[in-house]
Structure 1
Amino acid sequence: MKKTWFITGASQGLGLEFITQLLQAGHNVAATSRTLAGLEKAAGVHPNLLSLEVDLINEDSVATAINSTVIKFGTIDVVVNNAGYGQLGALEELTDAEARKNFDVNVFGALNVIRAVMPQLRKQGSGHIINIASIAGLTGNFPGWGIYCATKFAMAGFTESLAAEAADFGIKVTLVLPGYFRTNFLEDSSLGLPQNPIDAYTTVRQSQNAHTAEINGNQAGDPVKGVAAVIETVEAGNAPLYLFLGADAVGMAEQKITLLNSETEANRALSIGTGF
Structure 2
Amino acid sequence: MTPQQVWLVTGAGRGLGVHIAQAALAAGHAVVATGRRPEWVARAVGASENLLALKLDVTDRADSQAAAQAAVDRFGRIDVLVNNAANFKAGFFEEVTPEDFRAQIETTFFGTVNVTRAVLPLLRAQRSGLVVAISSTAGLVGDEFTSAYAASKFAVEGWMESLAPEVAPFGIRTMLVDPGFFRTELLTPESTSYAAPSIDDYAERTEATIAAWTSMNGKQPGDPAKLAAALVRLAALDEPPSRFPAGADAVRAFEKKAADLLAQARAHRDLSAALAFDDTGA
TM range (shorter): over 0.9
RMSD after superposition: 1.1
SS in 1 for 2:199: coil
How does the TM-score come out when normalised to structure 1?
Answer: 0.96
Q: Post-superposition shift, 1:196?
A: 4.2
Q: Could you tell me whether the CA contact under 8 Å between 1:14 and 1:183 is conserved in 2?
A: yes
Q: Could you tell me whether the CA contact under 8 Å between 1:175 and 1:242 is conserved in 2?
A: yes
The aligned residue for residue 163 of structure 1 is 164
The aligned residue for residue 203 of structure 1 is 205
The aligned residue for residue 97 of structure 2 is 95
Q: Post-superposition shift, 1:216?
A: 1.2
The aligned residue for residue 177 of structure 1 is 178
The aligned residue for residue 32 of structure 1 is 34
Structure 1: give runs of 5+ residues left out of the alignment: none
Q: Could you tell me whether the CA contact under 8 Å between 1:55 and 1:62 is conserved in 2?
A: yes
| Mapped partners of 1:261, 1:54: distance in 2 | 42
| Mapped partners of 1:237, 1:205: distance in 2 | 47
Q: Post-superposition shift, 1:44?
A: 3.0
Q: Could you tell me whether the CA contact under 8 Å between 1:144 and 1:208 is conserved in 2?
A: no
Distance 1:93 1:173, change over 3 A: same
| Mapped partners of 2:172, 2:238: distance in 1 | 11
For 1:134, give the aligned amino acid.
S
Q: Post-superposition shift, 1:38?
A: 1.7
Q: Could you tell me whether the CA contact under 8 Å between 1:143 and 1:207 is conserved in 2?
A: no
| Mapped partners of 1:218, 1:199: distance in 2 | 30
The aligned residue for residue 120 of structure 1 is 122
SS in 2 for 1:238: coil
| Mapped partners of 1:72, 1:199: distance in 2 | 55
Q: Are residue 104 (structure 1) and residue 145 (structure 2) matched? A: no
Q: Are residue 57 (structure 1) and residue 59 (structure 2) matched? A: yes
| Mapped partners of 1:196, 1:238: distance in 2 | 47
| Mapped partners of 1:174, 1:48: distance in 2 | 24
SS in 2 for 1:240: coil
Superposition pairs of residues 1-276 of structure 1, within 5 angstroms: 1-140=3-142, 142-201=143-202, 202-213=204-215, 215-276=216-277
Q: Could you tell me whether the CA contact under 8 Å between 1:8 and 1:80 is conserved in 2?
A: yes
SS in 1 for 2:104: helix
User: How many aligned positions are there?
Assistant: 274
Q: Post-superposition shift, 1:24?
A: 1.6
Q: Could you tell me whether the CA contact under 8 Å between 1:143 and 1:203 is conserved in 2?
A: no
Q: Post-superposition shift, 1:192?
A: 1.4
How does the TM-score come out when normalised to structure 2?
Answer: 0.94
Q: Could you tell me whether the CA contact under 8 Å between 1:143 and 1:204 is conserved in 2?
A: no
Percent of pairs with identical residues: 40
For 1:18, give the aligned amino acid.
I
Q: Could you tell me whether the CA contact under 8 Å between 1:3 and 1:78 is conserved in 2?
A: yes
Larger radius of gyration: 2
Which moves more between the two structures, 59-68 or 189-198? 189-198
Structure 2: give runs of 5+ residues left out of the alignment: 278-282
Q: Could you tell me whether the CA contact under 8 Å between 1:132 and 1:177 is conserved in 2?
A: yes
| Mapped partners of 1:159, 1:207: distance in 2 | 31
Q: Could you tell me whether the CA contact under 8 Å between 2:197 and 2:206 is conserved in 1?
A: no
| Mapped partners of 1:21, 1:120: distance in 2 | 24
For 1:206, give the aligned amino acid.
A
Cα deviation, 1:96-149, whole Å, max 9, x if unaligned, reads 100011111100000001110010000000000000000010000x21001101
Q: Could you tell me whether the CA contact under 8 Å between 1:80 and 1:130 is conserved in 2?
A: yes
For 2:170, give the aligned amino acid.
F
| Mapped partners of 1:52, 1:260: distance in 2 | 42
For 1:242, give the aligned amino acid.
R
Q: Post-superposition shift, 1:197?
A: 4.0
SS in 1 for 2:93: coil
| Mapped partners of 1:92, 1:164: distance in 2 | 37
| Mapped partners of 2:224, 2:198: distance in 1 | 32
SS in 1 for 2:107: helix
For 2:270, give the aligned amino acid.
A
